[in-house]
Amino acid sequence: MLRSWLAAEGGHFRHLEINEAIISSVVPSVTQELLSALQKLGASRIGLVHPRMRLPFTFDYENYLTLGADRIANAIAGVRFFGENLIIVDMGTAITFCLITQRVYRGGVIAPGVYTALRSLSERTAKLPEVSLQYRENALSKSTVASIEAGMYFGWRGLVRETIDSLLRAPEAIAVRGKIKIILTGGISEELGFSVELADVVDRQLTLRGLLAAREYLF
């Protein structure tokens, strides 16, 4: 699968061209499969993003060893490219919020992701269809599909806005509140109508940029 994917992406892939690889995974069983596959593709150095690695920030977080590798990769990229005071919002399967001030990872929030909730709504109700997230100017809706679209759009815009506002009021953030940069990332971050409204930076590739930046701390 990896070989065919890389060939499609690069067009001239040869497995001997891969010398190094970096993995950010929150699924242990998949991590082991990736390690094995990358070794077969020729990677002689493979780094795993994890909380114990050398990092460009420190932690003020209860049991930081439980922190997901995706959130660590985001924090690496955030601090490396956007500064030491950040709120990073990752719109994925879950929506994660991370507060970093003065290069210290302070904590955050985890909420259900948009499409996770949309699928759950469709699967757990008999008559409600599965819909996509649509930009809406007004919440008032005249059909079932439009009502779901409005509920999702305004509901998640409100969730993201309120959570950001609450993090900005946290004691750890107050001293640098005017210096905090808000970054929105994740698979659908560029498709959300409220991205520019709520964030200073919209960078869909932030996690991947974090993996690339992690190289200097892993090898």
Residues of the chain with pLDDT under 70: 9-16, 122, 126-129
Q: Which residues pair with 99 in a beta bridge?
A: 87, 107
Per DSSP, the residues of 37-89 read HHHHTT-SEEEE--TTS--SSEE-STTGGGS-HHHHHHHHHHHHHH-SSEEEE
Answer for the pair 185, 160: CB distance below 8 angstroms, yes or no: no
Q: Domain locations in the chain?
A: 1-48, 50-219
169-205 confidence digits (pLDDT tens): 999 999 999 999 999 998 777 777 777 888 999 999 9
Tell me the CATH number for domain 50-219.
3.30.420.40
For residue 153, the model assigns a pLDDT of 82
pLDDT at 13: 63
Residue 14 pLDDT: 60
List the catalytic residues: 70
Find all residues with CB under 8 Å of 208, minimum gap 6, and list them.
none
104-114 as b/e: b if 16+ CB within 10 A: ebbbbbebebb
The closest of 125, 184, 131 to 160, measured between CA atoms, is 184
Q: Global pTM?
A: 0.88
pLDDT score recorded for residue 32: 93
Q: How far, in Å, CA of 211 to CA of 188, rounded?
A: 19
Q: Confirm if 195 and 184 have CB atoms less than 8 A apart.
A: yes
Q: In one letter, which amino acid is 195?
A: S
Give me the amino acid identity at 13: F
Residue in the structure block whose two tokens are 């699924």 = 27
C-alpha 178/C-alpha 4 separation (Å) is 47
* CA pair distance 135, 16, nearest whole angstrom: 45
DSSP states of 151-170 as a string? HHHHHHHHHHHHHHHHHHTS
